Amino acid sequence: MQTKLIHNTPTYIPPSIRPSPPVHQTPSLPPTKPRAISISAPTAPPVAVPIPPVLEPDDPMAAYYDYQFLFISQRSETTRPVNLCTVDGMIPVDFPSGTYYLTGPGLLTDDHGSTVHPLDGHGYLRAFTFDTVTQNVKYMAKYIKTEAQVEEHDPKTDKWKFTHRGPFSVLKGGKKIGNTKVMKNVANTSVLKWGEKLLCMWEGGEPYEIQTGTLDTIGRYNIIDGVDLEDHDENKGAADVWDVAANLLKPILYGVFKMPPRRLLSHYKVDSSKNRLLTVSCNAEDMLLPRSNFTFTEYDSNFNVVQRKNFRIPDHLMIHDWAFTETHYIVFANRIKLDVLGSMSAMYGMSPMISALRVNPSKSTSPIYLLPRLPDNGKERDWRVPIEAPSQLWVLHVGNAFEVRHAHGNFDIQIQAAACSYQWFNFSKLFGYDWQERKLDPSVMNVKGGSELLPHLVQVSIKLDSDYNCHECDVKPMIKKWKKSSDFPATNPSFSGKKNKYLYAATTMGSRKTLPSFPFDTVVKLDLETDSAQTWTVGSRRFIGEPIFVPKARARREDEGYLLVVEYAVSMHRCYLVILNPAKIGTDDALVARLEIPSHLNFPLGFHGFWAAN
């Protein structure tokens, strides 16, 4: 099938947009040649620093300025909803009423010289509420008042002092040696509205519950324990020698470092056909042991538990995202190993705690574990034996997974995901963060050496017989000619767990020589049936975050709805919420509306969002 590429780059800039001084001082620019620039915000009152003159997009000065701007802290919150101004297009009359929630780090630099990794930045929740009756969009943003946030922020003086290191950072102005405040639950990774609960989630602990109308923090929500349902244990007495090691580690991890016994993965799934929420938790000590315990829990629309299953995998894994189908939970074995020297350095506060772990590229294949979701029917294969995909992949995010049934009981499992190489993935350098210099270096995210090293979209196909035995496993690009750096794959949520025709992702056209791979500047729509790609690009010195699909009520087509994506116009110090028509991506009519966030409320790059219909 011939691949068809259609590109559309908007050139219209609304006349209301004018460059203006930022609220917080921007990072100083490199004098002549590229170098990493501190992401620190000033400790003094905000200083009006003029935006640099018009620069060519590939000017190294512009590239470094733009990259640092994406991670500038935002200390301001909104106590009341703010009406957003539509600066381009208009909100369609059939846009559903609801709220787009987006979380991510908001505060990265304190007033005592410490700068933390973006993954350790305090959670900052943004809410865009659509009222299609009045054609208004109201915006609110508040910090999630986690225990760490309350401890590290003085609301009277609006001063911050980091006391928790966080797994990815070290402190400059705080206590280093003997500082056991490591697990800094900042609730900054994902957000979920399920039943009557609005939850902000983090990778290492319990989520925080938020009041929907005000965005005030209610407190931690114990979603992991306290379930009135007997666990279904699939391990069948699989105790091993590592139980002794686990019992020795628990008093140290739980008592000294205050780690929760189990951590909830920040990525969840929604089974649209059964109207269920699916979550995964794992044991804290498994991060240091060559085994992995996973607990999968399913909830109905009222947050009642309907199923809970435990699995112990004999492998040392780091899981961020996962997949599900009608019959299985799917875990990609991102292999890790313990770094003894790194552990000692981390224990004494001389390096981030994550230095205790390294990727483990010991095998050329990628193990995939198919864990039974349904009760044992007597045909289930031994799930402890992984299926070996014939390439080495570190899976970052999953877009969708589904089953295709054939005659005689045979079936295929298709998985759509974003993956990178073990050679590129580095715990200590995610987003280009240099913990020694406390700076961001965009060259780490734009390393040369081929697109297969960087995050890219892949399709994993597994062929099983009626007894669940694997006959073939294949990994290939999502479409033949789309191999550009891409991440944050998304589908119409109505097709989650079902066969989908379209996949959307954040990507780059690679037109900037200085920032060819990241940050992303393009939304790509992949047609998996015609093997084609269509794109919408924001334009020069502008970047985007994760795209979110908003379905229309009573839609008849899979791409009938809208896409929401945040646009960061870094050269103008502006943030916008953009509405796209998925069916028209690749044409001049793809842009539906662009809404401007007030300049004093500009926010740094977000992570994951959620659309909650009214």
Bind-site residues for Fe cation: 232, 320, 397, 608
CB of 595 closer than 8 Å to CB of 80 = no
Question: Can you list the positions of beta strands (E) in 145-243?
Answer: 153-154, 159-160, 190-194, 197-201, 208-210, 217-220, 232-233
Radius of gyration of the chain (CA): 23
Half-sphere exposure of 596 (CA within 13 A, CB side): 18
CA distance 147 to 126: 19
Could you count the other beta carbons within 10 Å of the beta carbon of residue 375?
Answer: 10
3-state secondary structure of 96: coil
Q: Write a three-state SS string for 355-414.
A: HHEEECCCCCCEEEEEEECCCCCCCCCCCCCCEEECCCCEEEEEEEEEEEECHHHCEEEE
CB of 235 closer than 8 Å to CB of 311 = yes
CB of 310 closer than 8 Å to CB of 234 = yes
Residue 331: its H or E element: strand 328-332
In order of 98, 366, 586, the CA distances from 569 in angstroms are 25, 38, 21
Q: Which residues are annotated as a binding site?
A: 232, 320, 397, 608
CB of 311 closer than 8 Å to CB of 371 = yes
Task: Give the DSSP letter string of 580-608.
Answer: E-GGGTTSTT-EEEEEEPPGGG-------
CA distance 228 to 230: 7
**Residue whose C-alpha is closest to residue 582's, from 515, 501, 485, 509:** 501
